[in-house]
Amino acid sequence: MKLSRPTIAAAALLAIATTPAHAQDVSSVTREAPRQQRDRIVIGVGAAAIPTYQGSDDYRVLPIPVIDIAKGRFFANLRNGIGVNVIDGGPVTIGGSVALMPGYRRKDVPDGVDRVTVGGGGRLFANLKAGGAILTVGGTKGFAGSTKGVIADASLSYPVVASRRLILIPAIGTSWADRKHNDRYFGINAREALASGLPEYRLGGGFKDVTAGVTANYRLNRRLSLAASANVSTLLGDAKDSPLVERKTQPTGFLSLNYLFGR
């Protein structure tokens, strides 16, 4: 099967969106280090077992690229996209970026329901590190493709250095979306109801999911590392009652081999 760039992008986004521990990379454990010591280029290859969309009963296993680049205030990663950290000192980081927003293919939903294309959005986020825990809050407003709505997210993670080579990151997270996003992603309009046979269903804004999971990062040597994540996400509110939802609680998994350049 040939995989298009939008397909891989959608898979990468869904994998990250359902993995709260990925709100922080493993380097966050040493965030007090001088900025020049935190500069890095990490590239990797991975695979994710994910549903075809939030609420789907069908799963796919797809290749996922891993990108984690930091140079001064500039960064590029799957979670926050491409952007800059406006404040990056001590326990607080505040930044802005352009990031991916979710979608799904027409063939993944019932006949007669329109697709939602993968899109882009402007993102603002803040990280606070205190007592070993990392709190992340952020919001993304779509401007191209996808639903053009707003998604806000929050996650709390606690990196644990289990050994010289192994770091474990348990995390919990939740996300909220406005009416435009929820209604476009989970809703069924009158035309779609007529074409698909599903009941018409409209949604307002509100919390749409909660996720818990754990990420493990094992350092093979100075440059190579293995990362694995296991997570469970549950839809909430109006989203869980959508006619598109076949399974409100969905497990996901992610495995990658990563290489650290430089240093």
In angstroms, rounded to a whole number, what is the distance separating the alpha carbons of residues 186 and 182? Answer: 6
pLDDT for residue 184? 96
Say how many residues make up the chain. Answer: 263
In angstroms, rounded to a whole number, what is the distance separating the alpha carbons of residues 44 and 148? Answer: 30
pLDDT for residue 17? 56
Q: Which of 230, 200, 203, 202 is nearest to 216 (CA)?
A: 230
In angstroms, rounded to a whole number, what is the distance separating the alpha carbons of residues 104 and 127? Answer: 29
pLDDT for residue 76? 96
Residue with tokens 């000192």: 89
pLDDT for residue 13? 59
How far is CA 53 from each of CA 92, 131, 254, rounded to the nearest angstrom?
A: 33, 36, 16
Tokens coding 182: 């929820």
Strand residues in the chain grouped as ranges (E) = 40-51, 59-71, 74-77, 81-89, 92-101, 119-130, 133-144, 150-157, 160-161, 166-177, 206-219, 224-235, 249-261
pLDDT for residue 18? 57
pLDDT for residue 141? 97
pLDDT for residue 8? 52
Range 245-249, long-range pairs (CB < 8 A, 24+ positions): 245/55, 245/186, 246/55, 246/56, 246/57, 247/51, 247/55, 247/56, 247/57, 248/55
In angstroms, rounded to a whole number, what is the distance separating the alpha carbons of residues 117 and 114? Answer: 10
pLDDT in tens, the chain (263 residues): 445 555 555 555 556 555 654 434 554 444 445 555 579 999 999 999 999 999 999 999 999 999 999 999 999 998 899 999 999 988 999 999 999 998 999 999 999 999 999 899 999 999 999 999 999 999 999 999 889 999 999 999 999 999 999 999 999 999 999 999 999 999 999 999 999 999 999 999 999 999 999 999 999 999 999 999 999 999 999 999 999 999 999 999 999 999 999 76
CATH number of the domain bearing residue 100: 2.40.160.40
Q: How many CA atoms lie within 13 A of 260 on its CB side?
A: 16
* CB 155 within 8 Å of CB 173: yes
Q: Which of 249, 243, 191, 252 is nearest to 19 (CA)?
A: 252
In angstroms, rounded to a whole number, what is the distance separating the alpha carbons of residues 167 and 25? Answer: 11
pLDDT for residue 185? 97
Task: Please tell me the total count of domains within the chain.
Answer: 1
> Rounded to two decimals, what is the model's pTM?
0.87
Q: Print the domain residue range for 135.
A: 5-261
